[in-house]
Amino acid sequence: MALEKEVDCPSCGESQKFYRTAAMTLHLGEKTKWRCPECSYGFVEINGIDTLSA
């Protein structure tokens, strides 16, 4: 699993490198938390499905 990922940050309004802050395995798959270093916006991704709001 990568430690960083390029994502369009809804808070900054531009593409940012998000950093993985936590990861664990659940019965639904792997849960990963990502955080933007510029604005501290964070989102959760479970088994490839994320909570990003566009």
> Residue 21 maps to which CATH number?
2.20.25
Question: Residue 44 in contact with residue 35, Cβ under 8 Å?
Answer: no
pLDDT at position 1 over 70: no
- What is the C-alpha separation between 54 and 49, in angstroms, rounded? 14
Tens-digit pLDDT profile for residues 3-23 = 999 999 999 999 999 999 999
Tell me which residue range forms the domain holding 12: 4-50
Number of domains the chain is built from: 1
- What is the C-alpha separation between 12 and 39, in angstroms, rounded? 7
Ramachandran class of 29: left when φ > 0, alpha when ψ lies in -120 to 50, beta otherwise = left
Q: What percent of the chain has pLDDT over 70?
A: 94
Question: Average pLDDT in the 35-43 region?
Answer: 95
Q: Where are the beta strands (DSSP E) in the chain?
A: 4-8, 15-26, 29-35, 42-46, 49-50
Question: Average pLDDT in the 9-38 region?
Answer: 95
